[in-house]
Amino acid sequence: MEPGESEPSVLGPGKTKIVLEAGKIDREYFRDLWRYRELFYVLAWRDVSVRYKQTAVGIAWAILRPAVTTIVFTLVFGRLGGFSSGGVPYPVMVLAGMLPWQLFASALTDSGQSLVANSNLITKVYFPRIIIPGSSLVTSLVDFTISGVLLAIVMIVYKVAPGWQIIALPLFVLVALVAAAGIGTWVASLNVKYRDFSFVVPFIVQLGLYISPVGFSTAVVPEKWRLLYSLNPMVGVIDGFRWCLLGGHTNVGSSGFLTSLVIITVVALTGVRHFRRTERAFADII
């Protein structure tokens, strides 16, 4: 490329000088992140297109997983357990909680594994490493969208219409993603150092499914335990989802949601900070 051309590339035309020194945290990190945004798109596109290469299998998987789990939970909690769903058909209530949970769970799993899975890139090329766990979130978002179609169909079948609250839905999607990304960046960077750390994630995900209000409504939890319960950041998100989709039938505890929000913010900020601190050594230890 001629020097006069304005095509942004590698380091961009504006940036002509870099200094590499020991222990110096790159002050241009976030500007670099912007310069490498194309890599973000391309990696996200790669993950999505590999996943949906066999379109039928990819879509079937995104629908089958929530559908089967919803049926099982409806039978176990709704029928056998006899839990109340607060006036909404039980399967609708479960599915409305299952969607954000699965978004969170798969985003967490993917981002936690992402660095190790892309170790060949880390040892061979430079780019802000946070692009890797970041772009890995996109696949779960696509899965989520497909599962959303399932939810829409189920809601039509059960004649449940969302109220005006649905406009807040993107906010809760974002919160679920930030929660997953926060824990995911912690896991991803620790995973580089301690390879056996990857065993923690399936455990969190499996346990989380039962201690989060997926198969039941938060209303089932006794009032005095609510605040403690909402220390699980997914409680606020799932309640928020149900509030958006099922409207007046669910009440969202604002203090609970705030607690969740604070915890998610803290985890995400510390996760990114830890990631940034350890990032410089990834190539040496991965």
Partner 1 sequence: MSGSIKVEGLSKRYWLRHGSGAPYRSLRDEISRWAAAPFRQLSRVFGGAGAKGEGGERVEEFWALKDVSFEVQPGEVIGIIGRNGAGKSTLLKILSRITEPSEGRVEIEGRVASLLEVGTGFHPELTGRENIFLNGAILGMTRAEVRRKFDEIVEFAEVERFLDSPVKRYSSGMYVRLAFAVAAHLEPEILVVDEVLAVGDAQFQRKCLGKMKDVSSGGRTVLFVSHQMGTVRQLCSRGILLAGGQVQKVGTASEVIDAYLEVDAAGGGFFAEGAARTKDVAIESAVTLDGMGQRQAYFLHNDPIKISVTCRVNSWIPNTELRLVVGDSRGRRVFTSDIALQPSPAAANPSVRAEAIIPGHFLRPETYLVSLYTFVNNQVVIAGVSDALSFTIQDGGSKYAASEGLDYGCVFDPCRWTITVVDEETAKGTVNG
Footprint on this chain of partner 1 (rule: CB under 8 A): 1, 3, 7-12, 15-23, 38-39, 41-43, 46, 49-50, 53, 118, 120-127, 192-193, 195, 278, 280-281, 283-285
| Residue (226 or 274) nearer to partner 1, CB | 274
- What's the closest the beta carbon of residue 20 comes to partner 1, in angstroms? 4
Phi-psi bin for 101: left (phi > 0), alpha (psi -120 to 50), beta? alpha
Residue 112 and residue 201 in contact, taking contact as beta carbons nearer than 8 Å: yes
Give the integer Cα–Cα distance in Å for 48 and 141.
10
Alpha-carbon separation of residue 188 from 14, 115, 121, 195, 274 (angstroms):
32, 6, 15, 10, 10
Read off the DSSP letter of residue 252. -
- What's the closest the beta carbon of residue 113 comes to partner 1, in angstroms? 16
| Residue (20 or 56) nearer to partner 1, CB | 20
| Residue (121 or 142) nearer to partner 1, CB | 121
- What's the closest the beta carbon of residue 255 comes to partner 1, in angstroms? 38
Residue 225, token pair as written in the block: 């335990």
Give the integer Cα–Cα distance in Å for 281 and 125.
14
| Residue (123 or 254) nearer to partner 1, CB | 123
- What's the closest the beta carbon of residue 286 comes to partner 1, in angstroms? 8
- What's the closest the beta carbon of residue 136 comes to partner 1, in angstroms? 14
